[in-house]
Amino acid sequence: MARIHVIQGDITRLQVYAIVNAANSSLLGGGGVDGAIHRAAGPELLEACRKIGGCPTGEARITPGFRLPARYVIHAVGPVWHGGKHGEAELLASCYRHSLQLAADHGLKQIAFPAISTGAYGYPFDEASSIAIRTVKEWLAAHNMVEEVYFVLFSDHHYQRFQQFLHKEETSG
Ligand code: ADP
């Protein structure tokens, strides 16, 4: 079974095969982690994203990482939170699964996720974290192509909270 790591920091600094971007469906950049990734990767990333021409919510697309230490960026489009009764949970889980599948399809053994949808898209952090953990664990149990998954939390508060959730999932089986 693959290893899961939780780290605090800036995902643009990670030297792993693939980092995941919390993108929007235009794939043309935005604020938050998306803005940080585009700034660090350089203008070639926007050019590559423009050629893809967008991505539906719940899916993901892959580009090179250009000037990033990561070789690839997987652009996942998370759901905007509209109260939880509009399929948000399934769309968020789908983002994680699509991203892992893209990594596997490209033979990428490491993937790093930010907390998709928990910033500007307003998904409650605790719920988003449980979905992320559960979905990634289920996917890893069924596939053996990805060896290391990193959850990268930007703030210390989110980092602490995420670790509690991971621990709880582990102790409850
Ligand atoms: P979304 O639109 O999907 O909500 P955001 O970028 O607004 O995306 O936020 C997603 C999460 O990414 C938030 O929890 C935010 O704190 C975090 N974040 C912002 N910048 C970075 C970064 N450089 N590295 C890792 N996580 C980041």
Q: Span 66-82, mean pLDDT?
A: 98
* Summary count for the chain: helices (H), strands (E): 5, 6
Residue 78 CA, closest ligand 1 atom number? 3
Which pTM was predicted?
0.97
pLDDT of residue 21: 98
* 79 pocket-lining for ligand 1 (C-beta < 6 Å): no
Render pLDDT for 94-146 as a digit per residue (tens, 0 to 9).
Answer: 999 999 999 999 999 999 999 999 999 999 999 999 999 999 999 999 999 99
pLDDT of residue 173: 53
126 among known catalytic residues? no
Number of domains in the chain: 1
Beta bridge partners of 112: 19, 150
Distance of alpha carbon 110 from alpha carbon 15, whole angstroms: 10
Render pLDDT for 17-50 as a digit per residue (tens, 0 to 9).
Answer: 999 999 999 999 999 999 999 999 999 999 999 9
Catalytic residue of the set 34, 105, 126, 156: 34
Beta bridge partners of 61: 75
* 117 pocket-lining for ligand 1 (C-beta < 6 Å): yes
The CATH code of the domain that includes 53 is 3.40.220.10
Tell me which of 154, 156, 162, 165 to substitute to probe ligand 1's pocket, judged by most ligand atoms within 8 Å of the beta carbon. 154
- Residues 108-145, buried b or exposed e (16+ Cβ, 10 A)? bebbbbbbbbbbebebebebbbbbbbebbbebbeeeeb
Range of the domain at 120: 3-172
d(CA 170, ligand 1 centre) in Å: 25
pLDDT of residue 92: 99
Q: Is the pLDDT assigned to residue 154 strictly greater than 80?
A: yes
d(CA 120, ligand 1 centre) in Å: 8
- Give, using CA atoms, the residue closest to atom 15 of ligand 1: 119
Q: Is the pLDDT assigned to residue 172 strictly greater than 70?
A: no
Regarding an ipTM greater than 0.90, the answer is yes
Q: Is the pLDDT assigned to residue 171 strictly greater than 80?
A: no
d(CA 14, ligand 1 centre) in Å: 15
pLDDT of residue 2: 87
